[in-house]
C-alpha cells in the first residue's frame, strides 16, 4: 500500500550503483562504509 508511493519518491541524485558482476538491474545495497550485492556477495568500500 504505502510502498508504491515510496518508489516514486526516489531522488535522482542518489542513484544506486549496479553490481559489476551481476550486471545492470542488480543493485548494490548501501551501507555506512561499503556497498554490497545480495546476489553474488560482491562488495566494495566507499
Ligand atoms: Zn552481484
- Write out pLDDT tens, residues 3-39: 666 666 655 556 789 999 999 999 999 999 999 999 9
Q: Is pTM, for the whole model, over 0.85?
A: no
Reduced to 3 states (helix: H, G, I; strand: E, B; else coil), residue 16 is coil
Centre of ligand 1 to C-alpha 7, Å, is 22
From CA 35, how far away is CA 8, in angstroms rounded?
Answer: 23
Q: How confident is the model at residue 2 (pLDDT cuts 50, 70, 90)?
A: low
Q: How confident is the model at residue 46 (pLDDT cuts 50, 70, 90)?
A: confident
Q: Which residues of 1-22 are buried (b: 16+ CB within 10 A; e: fewer)?
A: eeeeeeeeeeeeeeeeeebeee
Dig out the grid coordinates for 4 from the structure: 508504491
Which DSSP category does 22 fall into?
Answer: T
Centre of ligand 1 to C-alpha 32, Å, is 19
Query: Could you tell me the residue ranges of all domains in the chain?
Result: 15-46
Centre of ligand 1 to C-alpha 28, Å, is 7
15 close to 6: Cβ distance less than 8 angstroms? no
Amino acid at each position: 500500500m504505502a510502498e508504491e508511493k515510496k518508489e516514486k519518491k526516489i531522488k535522482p541524485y542518489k542513484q544506486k550503483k549496479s553490481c559489476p558482476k551481476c550486471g545492470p538491474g542488480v543493485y548494490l545495497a548501501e551501507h555506512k562504509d561499503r556497498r554490497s550485492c545480495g546476489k553474488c556477495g560482491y562488495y566494495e568500500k566507499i
